[in-house]
Amino acid sequence: MKALEEKILNEGTVLPGNILKVGSFLNHQIDVDFIMEMGVEIARLFKNDGVNKILTIETSGIPIAVAAAAAMHVPMVFAKKNRTGNISGDTYKTVVHSYTHGVDYNVVVAKEYLSRDDRVLIIDDFLANGKAIFGLIDIVTQAGAEVVGACAAIEKGFQHGGDSLRADGVRVESLAIIDSMEDGQIVFRR
């Protein structure tokens, strides 16, 4: 998505440790008019796939998931993270390792909000090593539902989570794919 690439170049900052800071529009301050356009683009990409539910993971996947769900007129579910192990109620559960924070999270979705009739599009703001999306796929699979695909706003191609997902047969659409950020220079995949 050309407009997103331009926005990343104009507003993004590359920080040490391969961190791309996009807090001005994507994950702290949200340029809502812009993410609604991203939602329309996601709806276009998956318009023939019978998606009837969108799944994301708290926190920063939520705005873009809302935008896509608004454009597709389907409900959205966000998986909840907790570190405590104390989870009440009847849930699907998986464990995701956060590379950024160096901890394992329990990730849960209440069973009542995912069923075998669901055709699920998984959405997140970033796709890096893919651990979060693999965890969400595990949850969808536990529910007997179908993963239609996964869509990230920004894929860090050099961290290879997208490659692993595609190698597993998952349809992955990322609105922008960054192949390298060496020396602060952002190079997009063509």
- How many positions of this chain bind its own copies (CB under 8 A)? 30
β-bridge pairing 187-188 and 119-127: unpaired
Of 78, 92, 126, 134, which one interacts with its own copies (CB under 8 A)?
Answer: 78
Q: CA-CA distance, 22 to 8, in Å (whole number)?
A: 7
107 is a contact residue toward its own copies (CB under 8 A) = no
Q: CB–CB of 123/140 below 8 Å?
A: no
DSSP 95-121: EEEETTTTEEEEEEEEGGG--TT-EEE
Which ranges of 46-142 does DSSP label H, i.e. alpha helix?
62-72, 131-142
Min separation Cβ 68 and its own copies, Å:
9
> What is the distance between the alpha carbons of residues 53 and 115, in angstroms, rounded to a whole number?
10
The yes or no reply on residue 105 touching its own copies (CB under 8 A) is no
Binding mask 114-153 for its own copies (x = CB under 8 A): ----------------------------------------
Report, in Å, the least distance between residue 159 CB and its own copies: 21
Output 136 or 165, the one with its CB closest to its own copies.
136
Among 20, 40, 70, 186, binds its own copies (CB under 8 A): 70
DSSP 3-state of 174: strand
Interacting residues toward its own copies by CB under 8 A: 23-25, 28-33, 35-36, 58-59, 62-63, 66-67, 69-70, 73-78, 80, 109-110, 112-113
